[in-house]
A = this chain, B = another copy of it.
């Protein structure tokens, strides 16, 4: 794994901070509030998939209105997740890197087992 970042969120974190500042919303953006808001958005994302077969999901991209709705809900989940991480002063890229290393150790790829010795 290189030392290049895997994900860069600084500009988004700054935009969300500014958005909250301009509306005086910092007082609402406690971690527990953001966690509940994240849960709400995850629910809206799940609703998109709830009655669809895998085939119907694959065709979702062919329907611009529904694909836009999917984009919005993915964005909403991401916005609250990044905001939560930001408020907790958590380094998102470092968290992601560390977790991928742990996942690679937990689930070694076939053919890499000998490297674990």
Contacts and interface: CB of A to CB of B under 8 A. Distances in A.
Name which of A6, A31, A94, A103 has the most chain B CB atoms within 10 A of its CB: A6
A70 to B, nearest CB: 7
A35 to B, nearest CB: 5
Instruction: Work out how many copies of this chain go into the complex.
Output: 4
A31 B49 contact: yes
Interface in A68-100: 70-72, 74-79, 81-82, 84-85, 88-92, 94-96, 98-100
Interface class of chain A by DSSP? helix
Given A35-B46, A49-B31, A50-B37, A99 B84 contact: no
Interface string A28-56: 10111101111111111111011110100
